[in-house]
Chains A and B, each alone.
Chain A
Amino acid sequence: MADVDEEAIQVPANAAAQPEVDLSDETQDFRFLNHLNFFSDSSPSIPRRGEKDFEPNPTELQADVLSASRGAMHNALSYPRLHGPKTRVIAFYAPDGFVPPAQIARPTPKAGEDEKSSESTPKPARPLPNSARISPDACVYVPNPKGQLFKSMGQADSSSRVWLLPEEALYLIERGSLDIRWPSPAGSTAGPGEEDLSIPMSLQAAYACFMGRGGLTLERYSVYTGLKRLGYALIRAPGWCDDIEHLEADASDASEITSPKLHGPGLAGMLSSLFKWIHDPHSTASTATGPIIGTGIHRHYMDVYRKLAIIPWYDPATASERHPSDTTAPFRVVFHVYKPSTPFKKSAPPPPDFRVAVVSTRDQTTMPTMTQLGALLESTPLDPPRGEKMDRMMYMRLRHGYRNVVMAVVDQGVISYLRIADSAFGKEKLYENKGGPQGPKRGRNQKTRKR
């Protein structure tokens, strides 16, 4: 019994050799920050992480290391973060949301209390091609966008101002890459191109202004900013708004059990039907009181297993797709996420790499029910396992599933991501398998695996 996992224990307890260790979970030794050189850009290499002691011991060495680590962290944090003159990007807060620049004759109304101007800016008669994509939730515009960050954020209007969504603006201001200004007081006469610089918005004020605006919750923002910092590109998914109109999607269950295929009537088949009367297990088979498989002679285990299949199962391949509005509130895709390696064009976003739903554990205290989870998955497109590797390996097929979604479970700021896949074990008849490789050999030299 205990044969396969014995190699694993011989592995030296070498933390560096374990790829499964999730470093983000640990408190770090911040001494590595000392190797960061903030002032010269000659060596952009990331310093190695330090190493961690698990228990306090009375040595002065440990105390020294600890204080040095602390000092390094303070040192890194105390580094002044400035808006350099070259990289400074100034944005303006528009509390009324997106305003088209069609009325160029007047200064763009930036203050909510300016009654006249807000009256005189009706919805644009013919929407410009660009501005159609600007969300009504956008509330910050950048007249002069520059830098890498705007490649995946914001939408430009016809006068090449980039409008930012609340989460984008908040992310940028928190990152120190954006200087948001309050709208100029009413009556200022500066043109839209050369707004006079009013008071800069503080981070606290930015949180107060943007959080809760246009459906942005703290949970959604933490997911957004967490993934963004890792280099992913995120855009809002159609399920962002909670009050999307409810379409009557027919949720008829299209799934059925696929009936087992019968063998063609070859010569052997004819013969077996000829001899069937001799000992037909079917005649004694009874699902009412059992045995299901009957008491006669069984020709093959395949037949036995086929007869055993009495429990219906859900087939995700045949299920019809649902509209995002057909899902229940927290279990809804709110972000489309793109890997850093995916070429992303914000004017024409490609199909996303991941679809993320955000759930707050304080509002939704239990796991989703099957209906909620099923609806969430059925609102994503079918993504069946494909490829040569998948065809070969059953375990990989099962793990990949037919649809998949990432659920970000936010528990008071701690985010746990769960990838949920709709896998159909019923489609993989293990008994028909002739024992080929089922999946990549895992676990060797990595970790002791338990049976």
Chain B
Amino acid sequence: MATPVTSVDKSVADKSGPASDARPPRAPRPPKPNFRQIHQFPLPVNVHHVPPVIPHNPLSLISVALSYLTFLISPPRQEVYSAYFDKATSSIHVTDERSIKALWQMGFFGKGSLSRSEPSWLAREKKRRGLHDGKTSEEITRLRRTERRELKLERARMEKLAIEETLKAEAAARKSGPSEPIEQDAQSTTTDDTTNATATTTEKFSLKKAREARALEARQARELAAKNADAALAEQNQAGTSSNGKSVRFSPVVQKKEFVSTSPSSLQLPDSVVDSLDSDDFPNEEHLQLSNEEAFFLAYSLGALQIYDAPLKSGEVISTSPITTSALLQQFCHHSFQPARDSAASLQPDDPFMISYTVYHHFRSLGWVIRSGVKFGTDYLLYNRGPVFSHAEFAVAVIPSYTHPYWSETEERRNYTAEKQARSWWWMHCVSRVQAQVLKSLVVCYVDVPPPAASVDDIGALFSQYKVREFLIKRWIPNRTRD
């Protein structure tokens, strides 16, 4: 009975070449927004170019002088955005919509509190209520995931189907005659035809075959329904699932589920409710969340952000003054511990915030767009120009380092620093494997911590005592470097 199976495999194997090329036609993608235009400024800082001076063209001098003159008469104002510190989440909230937009578009700061990264809740919500067209990134991802999941389920179904076929064939063979010669036959074919088997599996997962199987399934189901044997089918399915150990859900159910979760219309509220809603009526529930490093960079380095203690009501006259940068540094350092340390505690040079900000500032000052790397188990991700343009190429893991003689003076300090620097090999392997899987290069960034400073008044002097050193760590696979 094994012979027919192999012959089927062979015919399938012949087709495998073109079948793998035949991808399902994909829906045309909606046109991308002009990211180059939207994100043309790398930082939320206004820059005014001076017209170039062309030596042999005296008129250019005039234009330069004119541009200087306009600056002199009406100096352009640097936009300063405002935000507030939320103690509960230990993060900075920006609620003003214009500021949110500006901070995201110029330098990709922060993340929407209800979104994956870009604050897009309002757009999604509008679309959900049928007021808005177009797709947000979250929806694209969800669609893609649905598609992929269906493909996987289809594949699992195909595998299960193949197993059932084999089982049936084996049972039939057992019934039809003495099993001994047939089994031997099966053994000989399986032992020798490894190449065929390989070809089969490459084909096994193709979408085309999955579709055929689905059609077959549907036909079988119809036939069975005609025979009024629904119960038997259910029983069989159940038996198959339990004996197999693989939880396979049949696609009609899955499709229905996905339909519910993705389709905008299915989630629409009843008509009466929709009518009563005005399109401009509902408020934006989302705010921009800045990490402490981002906020400190904006406030201290760029001077583009003012941070208050409590949320400001819109339209309210600013009565309290923003937190000063040195107070901000204190606050962030205290909140870099969990739970936050007492505000009376003095600053330590190896407070987590000091170290993480050093790295943040270092890469920002080199022009990278640096964002949290928590989704890949690292501290930071480095983007060239921004996440909408390209994938992050580097993932940064930060480790403190204590090379200054101060840290090895006493036994207590030595133990303390040894504990702080320790990273296990398993951690290393986990991180590097994950980065290889998502095609990022792992950068292990050591930050050399200075001894405690006498005063923390000069923030710039404080940070210039730290030193950053990057190591690129990659798995080396000797099999691939043999040449």
Contacts and interface: CB of A to CB of B under 8 A. Distances in A.
Nearest to B425: A361
A399 to B, nearest CB: 6
Classify the interface of chain A: helix, strand, loop or mixed.
loop
Contact of A288 (B192, B376, B461): B461
B20 A450 contact: no
B49, B78, B151 — most chain A CB neighbours (10 Å) = B78
A244 interface: no
B479 A24 contact: yes
A64 B302 contact: no
A6 B144 contact: yes
Interface in B282-315: 299-304
Given A287-B460, A288-B457, A298-B47, A309 B192 contact: no
B194 A425 contact: no
A278 B69 CA distance: 9
Interface string A196-238: 0000000000000000000000000000001100111000000
A104 interface: no
Nearest to A421: B472
Contact of A231 (B32, B41, B385, B482): B482
B191 A430 contact: no
Nearest to B186: A64
A9 B144 contact: yes
A6 B390 CA distance: 13
B464 interface: yes
Contacts of A265: none
Interface in A331-361: 339-341, 353-354, 361
A50 B474 contact: no
Interface string B429-445: 10010001111010100
B243 interface: yes
A451 B427 CA distance: 22
A74 interface: no
Contact of A51 (B117, B201, B368, B385): B201
Task: Classify chain B: how many residues form its interface, as a range.
Answer: 35 or more
Contact of B50 (A31, A65, A272): A272
Contacts of A32: 194
B205 A419 contact: no
Given A1-B387, A424-B470, A291 B475 contact: no
Interface in B22-40: 23-24, 26, 29, 32
A77 interface: no
B326 A293 contact: no
B202 A16 contact: yes
Contacts, number: 359
A420 B300 contact: no
Contact of B482 (A35, A340, A398): A340
Task: Classify chain A: how many residues form its interface, as a range.
Answer: 35 or more
Contacts of A57: 163, 244
B423 A367 contact: yes
B181 interface: no
Contacts of A41: none
Contact of B183 (A17, A64, A442, A447): A64
A401 interface: yes
A1 B301 contact: no
Contact of A279 (B71, B141, B376, B428): B71
A272 B64 CA distance: 9
A426 B334 CA distance: 29
A318 interface: no
Contacts of A293: 45, 301-303
A451 B30 CA distance: 20
A251 B299 CA distance: 38
A447 B300 CA distance: 40
B53 interface: yes
Given A288-B460, A430-B384, A366 B425 contact: yes
A418 B482 contact: no
Contact of B301 (A290, A416, A450): A290
A451 B391 contact: yes
B137 A423 contact: no
5 contacts: A278-B71, A288-B459, A399-B441, A426-B362, A451-B392
Given A3-B29, A399-B472, 17 more contacts: A9-B148, A24-B479, A49-B194, A61-B2, A61-B5, A68-B190, A286-B460, A289-B300, A301-B42, A304-B43, A311-B361, A367-B427, A370-B399, A399-B474, A406-B476, A423-B443, A425-B366
Interface of B: 2, 5, 20, 23-24, 26, 29, 32, 41-43, 45-50, 52-53, 55, 61, 64, 68, 71-72, 75-76, 78, 116-118, 137, 140-141, 144, 147-148, 151, 155, 163, 166-167, 170, 183, 186-187, 190-192, 194-195, 197-198, 201-202, 205-207, 243-246, 299-304, 324-326, 358, 361-368, 375-376, 384-385, 387-388, 390-394, 399, 401-403, 421-425, 427-429, 432, 436-439, 441, 443, 446, 448, 457-461, 463-464, 466-479, 481-483
Nearest first, the 3 closest Cβ-Cβ pairs linking A and B are: A287-B460, A291-B303, A431-B367
